[in-house]
Structure 1
Amino acid sequence: MSAIELEKDGGLWTVTLNRPDKANSLTRAMLEELADIAEAAVDARVLILTGRGRVFSAGADLDEAKAGLALSPVWERLSGAIAALPGLSIAALNGTLAGGAMGMALACDLRIAVPGAKFFYPVMKLGFLPQPSDPARMAALVGPSRAKLILMGGQKIEAPEALQMGLVDRIVEGEALLDTARGIAADTLTAKPEIATGIKRLCQG
């Protein structure tokens, strides 16, 4: 079974990380496939990212990270493609989000999460810089001080605090996670594409 699943339902594309036995940790092949999908998703009206199991993603596969994946440009390729999408992007976080995997969620327009999700980015402890665009995107959501709390203070943020600081937009029980994401997507899916894209651009300033 593929580690990345893509379901297309008209203008709604749902991408699922499917490596739950490894906490959905990301290999180079997975990242490249995700980036290919995100680049092709210019044709989608809405893109939903989610995962199987109790963890959205633990970040880079440790063996591949040690072999150089942590410094690969594919992370930026993926987050940049998501951020550039003309449609609505939603991270439906089925569990904890860690490390470089945070980049794809930060690049989304919206983030919803289950109550037990935790958020941390221990890249400094591992001797690496974050991916270049991640700190600025995080700071835009939570402010510079809280971004430093996560990136330099190494703090693990639980879902209620993540909601309070703006790192996630809504907390949703697990069984309702995808239905909630689809409900949020409904108006964008039925709107004229140029109107939805125009609103997104106005919100971005």
Structure 2
Amino acid sequence: MIRSDRDGAVLTLTLDRPDKANSLTAAMLGDLCDAVEGVGPDVGLMILTGAGDRVFSAGADLDEAKAGLATSPLWERLSGAIAALPCLTVAALNGTLAGGACGMALACDVRLAVPGAQVFYPVARLGYLPQPSDPARMARLIGPARTKLVLAAGARLSAEEALAFGLFDRLVADPKAAARDLAVGAPDHVAAIKAMVP
């Protein structure tokens, strides 16, 4: 389930399946795509987070991954939609970030994580390629060698390593609250500033 909450110019989208590590079914992924693509110009901040206190998302639901969800074009549609938003986008990582869920966090402008969060994107071990835009987005953040370490070698990063690499921007006790505390200006001003940053 994808939960959408609006408070003024702040939109929070929550992956709400904590009993299954917030893993995404095809229906959830489609709903998330629709929610992101429906963000209007009056939104200045979009927060993407997960329910619970251990895992942001384990990526694709295991049963559906085996049935084809692992290579679905919906993942790329979602990350592209997030990256194209004119508002500030924040991944409020309440726990570990794994698998295909990495793409949505990489597409966000800012990544705030709890100190216990880990990053794990085991595509090579599972016999898949990463989402098409993920290697380039990751390399822009952490460089090509470290990107190969994560994607090709399947290295698991601790929160401290991810922060040192530049994959996480801050470690905070409550990422969702920290995201909401960001001093975001008027939506059109935010969009103008984002357009100025290469």
When normalised by structure 1's length, the TM-score is: 0.93
**For residues 117 and 187 of structure 2, what CA distance do their matches in structure 1 show?**
33
SS in 2 for 1:125: helix
Q: Following TM superposition, by how much is the alpha carbon of 1:196 offset from its aligned partner in structure 2, in angstroms?
A: 1.4
Q: 1:194 aligns with which of 172, 188, 192?
A: 188
Match of 2:45 in 1: 46
Letter of the aligned partner of 2:130 in structure 1? P
Partners of 1:42 and 1:87 within 8 A in 2: no
Tell me the distance in 1 between the aligned counterparts of 2:136 and 2:49: 23
Corresponding position of 1:28: 26
1:195 positional shift: 2.1
Among 17, 30, 55, the residue aligned to 1:19: 17
Gaps of at least 5 residues in structure 2 are none
For residues 62 and 192 of structure 1, what CA distance do their matches in structure 2 show? Answer: 41
Map of 1:62 onto structure 2: 62
Residue type matched to 2:81 in 1?
A: A
2:168 aligned partner: 168
Give ranges in structure 1 of 5+ residues lacking alignment. Answer: none
Higher normalized contact order (CA 8 Å, seq sep 6+, divided by chain length): 2
Q: Which amino acid aligns with 1:22?
A: K
* Contact 2:21–2:55 under 8 Å retained in 1: yes
Aligned partner of 2:158 in structure 1 is 158
Structure 2 counterpart of 1:49, one-letter code: L
Cα distance, 1:42 vs structure 2: 3.6
Separation in structure 2 between the aligned mates of residue 63 and residue 135 of structure 1, nearest angstrom:
25
Per the TM alignment, residue 178 of structure 1 is displaced from its structure 2 partner at its CA by 1.7
Task: Please report how far the alpha carbon of residue 47 of structure 1 lies from its aligned counterpart in structure 2 after TM superposition.
Answer: 0.5
Distance 2:130 2:48 in 1: 21
Structure with greater helix percent: 1
Contact 2:124-2:153 at 8 Å conserved across structures: no
RMSD, aligned CA: 0.9
Match of 1:72 in 2: 72
Q: Residue 177 of structure 1: CA displacement?
A: 2.2
Asked if the contact 1:42–1:85 (Cα under 8 Å) also holds between the matched residues in 2, the reply is: no
Question: Normalization by structure 2: what TM-score?
Answer: 0.96
Aligned length: 196
